[in-house]
Structures are given as C-alpha cells and as structure tokens.
Amino acid sequence: MADSYTIGQERTADGAATILRISGELDINARDDLREALLPAIRGGDVVVDLHGVTFLDSEALGALIEGYNAARRSAAGLRVVNARGLVARVLNVSGAAELFGS
C-alpha cells in the first residue's frame, strides 16, 4: 500500500458485511490494492465501501470499484459506496457510478 492512501477492513458487529474504510488519494497507484481488498471481501458477502476520507478518485480507481460492483453482482453480494464528498462525489455522479453503488 502506498503512502497516499489507506484501506482498512472490518466486519460489521453482526458479521453481515465487510466495511472497507478508505482514505487519501485513489489513483492508478491505488487500483491494484483496492481490487485486492474488494474482491476477497465480496467473496465473504456484502461490502460497504466508506469513502469519507478519500480526497481524490481517478478513472483507474473508479474502474476498480466498478469491477468490485460487477463481482458482487455475479456472486449475489451487495456492494454500496457511502460517504463520498466533494470532488469524489462529483466524479461518482458525473460518471453515473453513484447510481450503481447506491450512493
């Protein structure tokens, strides 16, 4: 993982979902780490991606989120992206991804 972002993972209290708490700048350097966090979490069931601490999101990182969404659909798991703010929320809205992620 790079110095410009962090990806934390925890289970909800009831064990029903995995929460990925992400912060920092998500760019091409974050793409593979984001994918490596998302895909195994999805195999374990529903996933909530908390972007509250994310200050930048580029198309490569967005692509990893969309790949996670597609993997969740294939495995009948849920994937929601929450707490996007500012520029990150704008990227999700302009790209149409907010609708996919239930943001």
Q: How does residue 103 score in pLDDT terms, banded at 50, 70 and 90? A: low
64 to 13, 15, 16: CA distances (angstroms): 26, 24, 23
Q: Which residue has the higher pLDDT, 66 or 15?
A: 66
Q: Structurally, how many domains does the chain consist of? A: 1
Q: What is the CATH number of the domain that holds 13?
A: 3.30.750.24
Q: b/e map of 36-71 (b: 16 or more CB within 10 Å)? A: ebbbebbeebbbbbbbeebebbeeebbebbbbbbeb
| Residue numbers of the domain that contains 45 | 5-101
pLDDT in tens, 16-29: 899 999 999 999 99
Q: Are strands 17-26 and 79-82 parallel, antiparallel or unpaired?
A: unpaired
pLDDT in tens, 6-60: 999 999 989 889 999 999 999 999 999 999 999 999 999 999 999 999 999 999 9
Whether the predicted pLDDT of 64 surpasses 60:
yes
